[in-house]
């Protein structure tokens, strides 16, 4: 499984519409409008690299998408709140 963050630059004023379109795509865990150099960030999960290429080809064809930049996750760490939530679920299942 491959996880990636995809950053998007879009035409001004189209952020909400484009973000909603991206969020509705398969393989997108979530999409957010952000401030800074890029306008949108999406968390994506795919089974293999060719599927990521396919996903990127699709999103680059969304009207108003100007540019994408993809960061593939090399290693992931859960935050304290997420770890505590997972531990609580495990305890409930063991009870």
pLDDT of 65-83, one tens digit each? 999 999 999 998 877 777 6
* CA-wise closest residue to 42 among 64, 26, 57: 26
Mean per-residue pLDDT, 22-37: 96
Q: Which two tokens stand for residue 56?
A: 């990127």
Q: Which two tokens stand for residue 44?
A: 């994506």
Mean per-residue pLDDT, 14-41: 97
Cβ atoms 69, 10 nearer than 8 A:
no
Instruction: Please give the Cα distance from 17 to 5 (Å, whole number).
Output: 19
Quote the pLDDT of residue 87. Answer: 75
Quote the pLDDT of residue 84. Answer: 76
């Amino acid at each position: 499984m491959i996880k990636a963050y995809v950053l998007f630059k879009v035409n001004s004023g189209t952020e909400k519409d484009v973000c909603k379109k991206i969020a509705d795509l398969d393989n997108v865990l979530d999409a957010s409008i952000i401030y800074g150099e890029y306008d949108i960030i999406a968390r994506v999960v795919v089974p293999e690299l060719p599927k990521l290429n396919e996903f990127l080809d699709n999103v680059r064809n969304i009207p108003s998408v100007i540019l994408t930049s993809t960061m593939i996750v090399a290693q992931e760490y859960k935050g304290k709140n997420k770890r505590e939530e997972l531990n609580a679920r495990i305890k409930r299942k063991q009870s």
